[in-house]
């Protein structure tokens, strides 16, 4: 009996002792994720106590809020909520009345004024009063300390021409305001947006990689055969690449000596060593003038050399000497003699060839060729 009592005591101390299976947990006809619209008949008596929330708004919204407040006030009046705008104190207040039936609508009204203070346009902010729409305000200022990194990473969320922000809105089905990251939509979409924003601001993953994963998941949702399967094999795995940092050169540690370094000689000490200290002012000026003249002479000589360098002719390319090319002088001389001999023989052979004189003398049968006189020459005669 004692053992059974100890087991009962242990079970009683268990944290989830009330988490017993309910008969409606496994009922296939019940959709646990469905949000039912509130019916006023559920709370006919209304609210017994007055609940109110107020929030501050920035100074630059003092001109904009009075223009849109009538539409906000009329939207709240439908649910039995009273809204007040105090421009002197810079606050917006919402409170319940006797006509309020829905007890959760005051939380929705609180979210409405919070969104308005975060520069969300009034037509979009009023949609938060619907039961199916939720909101999430992600405070990104506390995630990054360095201002330059904060601006750079926030720009990654927005993207060029708001392209990244629009892609996230399409894939998650939520409305996002990029400056303060205030999102409106379903619970699933808000969870995805919070994860993307936090990963970007903490430099864990760029939003473009999250967009790729969401696009693949959207395509996989269309296939009913993959509804109960694990999608990890289809999703890409991205590795974080860190930029290589330059290696800091380690300085050589000097040997420790208890004695201080020797004192450096002063200007007067140097003058004493060179003997300049004992010179008169006149001699000192003469010395300085001579040094100046020497420097000027060196400078003028250098400038003259530079000017004359432009008029110097370029060096002509020298032919290789036969010795440098690896040929002996004797071989070159023998080659030249053989070429001269061959040229002489060829000239004698050409001179001794038989010449046919008939080719150069006109035959007796043919009359000699004469030029015809032109008509002008006859007229002149």
Give the whole-number percent of the chain exceeding pLDDT 90.
31
pLDDT surpasses 50 at 1: no
* pLDDT band per the 50, 70, 90 thresholds, residue 91: very high
* Residue 171 · residue 214 · CB < 8 Å: yes
Judge if pTM exceeds 0.85: no
160 φ/ψ sector (left φ>0, alpha ψ -120 to 50, else beta): beta
pLDDT surpasses 60 at 164: yes
Please name the fold of domain 133-239: Ribosomal Protein S8; Chain: A, domain 1 (3.30.1370)
pLDDT surpasses 80 at 31: no
Span 327-368, pLDDT tens digits: 556 777 888 888 888 887 777 665 555 555 555 555 444 555
Spatial separation of the C-alpha atoms in residues 4 and 10, rounded to whole Å: 10
Span 288-320, pLDDT tens digits: 899 999 999 999 999 999 998 888 888 887 765
Mean pLDDT of 4-28: 62
Q: What is the mean pLDDT of the chain?
A: 81
Burial annotation 306-327 (CB, 10 A radius, 16+ → b, else e): eeeeeeeeeeeeeeeeeeeeee
Q: CATH for 36-131?
A: 3.30.1370.10
Q: Do domains 36-131 and 133-239 have the same CATH topology?
A: yes
pLDDT of residue 123: 92
pLDDT of residue 16: 64
Supply the angle between the helices 105-117 and 65-77 in degrees, to the nearest 10: 170
Element (H, E) at 54: strand 52-56
Mean pLDDT of 26-53: 83
Span 229-284, pLDDT tens digits: 888 888 888 776 666 677 777 778 888 888 888 889 999 998 888 888 888 888 88
pLDDT of residue 7: 47
Spatial separation of the C-alpha atoms in residues 129 and 112, rounded to whole Å: 8
Residue 350: which residues within 8 A CB-CB, separation 6 or more?
A: none
* pLDDT band per the 50, 70, 90 thresholds, residue 203: confident
Q: Where are the domains of the chain?
A: 36-131, 133-239, 266-296
Give the whole-number percent of the chain exceeding pLDDT 70.
82
pLDDT of residue 242: 65
Q: How far apart are the first and last CA of the chain?
A: 170
Count of other CB atoms within 10 angstroms of residue 85:
20
Closest to 127 measured CA to CA, from 80, 186, 167, 181: 186
pLDDT of residue 364: 47
Mean pLDDT of 39-57: 88
Span 109-144, pLDDT tens digits: 999 999 999 989 999 999 999 988 999 999 888 888
């Amino acid at each position: 009996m004692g053992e059974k009592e100890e087991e009962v005591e242990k079970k009683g101390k268990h944290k989830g002792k009330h988490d017993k299976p309910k008969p409606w947990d496994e009922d296939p006809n019940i959709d646990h994720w469905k949000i039912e619209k509130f019916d006023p008949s559920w709370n006919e008596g209304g609210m017994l106590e007055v609940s109110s929330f107020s929030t501050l708004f920035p100074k630059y919204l003092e001109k904009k809020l009075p223009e849109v407040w009538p539409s906000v006030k009329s939207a709240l009046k439908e649910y039995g909520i009273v809204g007040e705008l105090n421009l002197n104190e810079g606050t917006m207040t919402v409170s319940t009345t006797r006509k309020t039936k829905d007890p959760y609508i005051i939380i929705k009204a609180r979210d409405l004024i919070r969104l308005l203070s975060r520069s969300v346009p009034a037509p979009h902010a009023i949609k938060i009063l619907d039961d199916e729409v939720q909101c999430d305000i992600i405070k990104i200022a506390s995630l990054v300390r360095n201002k330059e990194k904060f601006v750079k990473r926030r720009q990654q969320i927005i993207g060029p021409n708001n392209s990244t922000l629009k892609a996230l809105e399409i894939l998650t089905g939520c409305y996002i305001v990029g400056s303060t990251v205030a999102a409106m939509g379903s619970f699933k979409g808000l969870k995805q947006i919070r994860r993307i924003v936090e990963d970007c601001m903490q430099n864990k993953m760029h939003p473009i990689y999250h967009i790729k994963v969401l696009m693949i998941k959207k395509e996989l949702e269309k296939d009913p055969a993959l509804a109960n399967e694990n999608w990890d094999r289809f999703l890409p795995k991205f590795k974080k690449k860190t930029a290589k940092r330059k290696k800091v050169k380690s300085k050589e540690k000097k040997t420790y000596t208890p004695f201080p370094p020797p004192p450096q000689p002063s200007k007067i000490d140097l003058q004493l060593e060179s003997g300049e200290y004992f010179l008169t002012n006149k001699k000192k000026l003469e010395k300085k003038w001579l040094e100046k003249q020497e420097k000027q002479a060196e400078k003028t000589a250098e400038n003259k050399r530079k000017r004359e360098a432009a008029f110097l002719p370029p060096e002509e390319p020298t032919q290789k000497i036969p010795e440098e090319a690896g040929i002996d002088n004797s071989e070159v001389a023998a080659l030249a003699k053989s070429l001269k001999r061959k040229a002489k023989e060829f000239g004698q052979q050409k001179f001794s060839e038989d010449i046919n004189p008939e080719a150069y003398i006109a035959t007796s049968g043919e009359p000699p060729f004469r030029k015809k006189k032109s008509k002008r020459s006859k007229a002149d005669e």
